[in-house]
């Protein structure tokens, strides 16, 4: 069963539209009080935001700088990285906390579905 179907968009979708859809779905997941979906989407949004950040030189007075433009391939790599990190955490929790291990596995499955559909 597909947990989160919002990534079922055309492969020609631009990153801005994709990020807007993720943000919208995060808001909806929070309204529905779907904790695992909210956590996974928030982790993904934070990773995307961090990846688009640029280094600010020490000698600048600028308070607003443009962010780095990400490609769909960049987003796929971010999703893969988040999956890998959750798998590592799941391996650590295995045998220690079965509930947390299952939560991580559910989040991993959702991110894998997203990555396959991007």
pLDDT digits (tens, 9 = 90+) for 71-91: 888 888 888 888 888 888 888
What pLDDT, in 10s, does the model give residues 9-66?
445 568 888 888 888 888 988 999 988 888 888 999 999 999 988 877 777 777 777 8
For residue 8, the model assigns a pLDDT of 44
Q: CA torsion angle for 30, 35, 36, 39 (degrees, to 10)?
A: 60
Report pTM: 0.72
Distance separating alpha carbons of residues 86 and 68, to the nearest angstrom = 25
Length of the chain: 118
Domain range 15-53+68-117, CATH architecture: Orthogonal Bundle (1.10)
């Amino acid at each position: 069963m597909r947990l989160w179907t919002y990534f079922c968009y055309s492969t020609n979708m631009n990153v801005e539209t994709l990020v807007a859809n993720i943000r919208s779905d995060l808001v909806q997941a929070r309204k529905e009080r779907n904790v695992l979906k909210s956590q996974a989407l928030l982790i993904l949004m934070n990773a995307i935001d961090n990846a688009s950040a640029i280094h600010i030189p020490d000698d600048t007075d600028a308070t607003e700088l443009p962010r780095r433009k990400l490609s769909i391939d960049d987003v796929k790599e971010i999703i893969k990285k988040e999956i890998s990190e959750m798998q590592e955490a799941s391996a650590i929790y295995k045998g220690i906390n079965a509930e947390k291990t299952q939560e991580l596995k559910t989040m991993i499955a959702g991110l894998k579905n997203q990555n396959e559909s991007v």
